[in-house]
Amino acid sequence: MPKVSKEYREARRDEIARAALRVLTRKGVRDTSIADIVEESGLSTGAIYSHFSNKAELARYVVGRFLLPRIDALEAAGTSGQVVTPRQALQGLLSVFAEEGLSPSLVLQFWGEAMVEPGLQDQLLGTAGHLRASLALAIGPWARTQASDDTDAASLAAETARSIAALAQGYIANTAVFGPRTVEEYLEGAAAVLAS
């Protein structure tokens, strides 16, 4: 049997993940089976299971493939000394939905499933912790311009990162429940509410 290249394997995993995202968005997390993903992708059951053993593993891949690179890019900007404002960090984080075609309603469904599914819950908690830590690093240089010393800057960055994460969750839930809204519309609305 010929050896499969890393690039081919990665492309196949992306193909399966995109097919899974389409069917999950259409049918929902609870009602989607591996058979549905097989049908959507046009691949065999064996091909799917050779890449993903269950929905939790697929969710981990989607997070790692689409969300974590965005979070890591924000963190890299902050650790390189670039001043990233909280608004820029939030905008950069949320732009993944439009750019990658991710469905906020699907993310909301995975959150619901994570409350009762241990594998998904572990994934959610790990991703949330990574997100907050990375956001704090991303806005670290900004926090240092706002605080009187390094201790205050670290505290400000951590608290602001938590608020950015909460605002991101708000965008996801609001968009899933009330329908499409651009990131810019959401940011303007949030700014108007917070300024008043």
Q: How far apart are CA 64 and CA 33, in angstroms?
A: 21
In a shared domain, residues 79 and 149: yes
Q: How far apart are CA 176 and CA 190, in angstroms?
A: 17
**Residue 68: other Cβ atoms inside 10 A:** 16
| Boundaries of domain holding 30 | 1-53
Q: How far apart are CA 21 and CA 122, in angstroms?
A: 20
Q: How far is CA 16 from CA 2, 24, 63, 110, 156, in A?
A: 21, 12, 14, 18, 41
In a shared domain, residues 60 and 18: no
**Residue 104: other Cβ atoms inside 10 A:** 19
In a shared domain, residues 102 and 156: yes
Per-residue pLDDT 10s for the chain (196 aa) are 567 788 888 888 889 988 888 888 888 888 888 889 989 999 888 888 888 887 778 777 877 787 888 888 888 988 898 999 999 999 999 998 888 888 888 888 888 888 888 777 888 888 889 899 999 999 999 999 999 898 899 999 999 999 999 999 999 999 999 998 999 999 999 999 988 7
